C-alpha cells in the first residue's frame, strides 16, 4: 500500500527486500545492525500486529517507521493506544523532509485506531534530533519518568545510557489536533 507520494518521496509498506537494504546501509554508516529486527517487523505486519512502513527518496530506500495499533509494551501498554516504534532515516537522506512524511503517515495510521499515540525516545545524544522533532510535533512526556527496557527505572537506580533507556511521549491525534494527554 502507498501512504504518500510526491516527486521525491514515496511512503509504502515495508517489503522483504527492504530489510537487507536498510541493514546494509546502517552498517555502512557505522551502526552494528542485523536484519533480525526488520524481519521481526515484517512478521508482525504479516500477523496484523503492526504496520511497517518504508520511505523511498528518489527511488532508494531512505527510512522506516512502524506503528503498533494496540501496543503490548511501554507506558501505555494494552490500553488500546497505538505506539510508534523504531523510526529512522538513513544519515545520507536526512534533512530532506523524509522523517516528517514518515511521522505524518504513522500518525494518520494511528488515528484510525485511537485518539492518542505514543512513542519512546532514547535519552543519549544519538536521539537528539528525534527528541526535538517529537516536541515540535506536539508530543509531551507521559509523566512516568525514565524507563529502562520494559519498566520504569526506579529513582536512584543505576542504569546504562543505551538504546533501552527511554522517555515516553504521547500526543492527542485525529480530529482533535495536537492536544496532549
Q: Going from the N-terminus, what domains does the chain have, and what CATH number goes with each? A: 2-176 (3.40.630.30)
Q: What is the pLDDT of residues 21-76, one digit of tens each?
A: 999 999 999 888 889 999 999 999 999 999 999 999 999 999 999 999 999 999 99
Under 8 Å between Cβ of 159 and 152: no
pLDDT at 30: 87
Q: What is the pLDDT of residues 80-92, one digit of tens each?
A: 999 999 999 999 9
pTM of the predicted model as reported, rounded to 2 decimal places:
0.91
Q: Which residues pair with 147 in a beta bridge?
A: 152, 166
pLDDT at 179: 40
Instruction: Please state, rounded to an integer, the average pLDDT across all residues of the chain.
Output: 93
Under 8 Å between Cβ of 126 and 166: no
CA distances from 102 to 3, 21, 97, 143, 145 (A): 9, 18, 9, 26, 27
Amino acid at each position: 500500500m502507498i501512504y504518500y507520494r510526491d516527486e521525491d518521496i514515496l511512503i509504502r509498506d515495508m517489503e522483504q527486500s527492504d530489510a537487507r537494504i536498510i541493514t546494509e546501509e546502517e552498517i555502512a554508516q557505522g551502526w552494528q545492525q542485523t536484519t533480525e529486527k526488520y524481519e521481526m517487523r515484517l512478521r508482525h505486519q504479516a500477523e496484523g500486529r503492526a504496520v511497517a512502513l518504508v520511505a523511498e527518496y528518489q527511488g532508494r530506500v531512505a527510512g522506516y517507521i512502524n506503528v503498533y495499533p494496540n501496543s503490548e509494551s511501554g507506558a501505555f501498554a494494552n490500553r488500546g493506544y497505538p505506539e510508534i516504534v523504531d523510526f529512522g532515516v538513513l544519515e545520507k537522506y536526512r534533512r530532506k523532509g523524509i522523517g516528517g512524511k514518515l511521522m505524518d503517515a504513522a500518525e494518520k495510521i494511528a488515528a484510525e485506531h485511537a485518539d492518542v499515540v505514543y512513542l519512546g525516545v532514547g535519552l543519549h545524544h544519538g536521539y537528539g534530533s528525534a527528541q526535538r522533532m517529537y516536541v515540535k510535533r506536539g508530543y509531551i512526556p507521559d509523566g512516568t519518568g525514565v524507563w529502562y527496557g520494559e519498566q520504569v527505572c526506579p529513582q536512584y537506580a543505576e542504569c546504562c545510557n543505551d538504546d533501552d533507556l527511554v522517555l515516553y511521549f504521547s500526543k492527542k491525534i485525529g480530529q482533535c489536533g495536537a492536544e496532549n494527554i
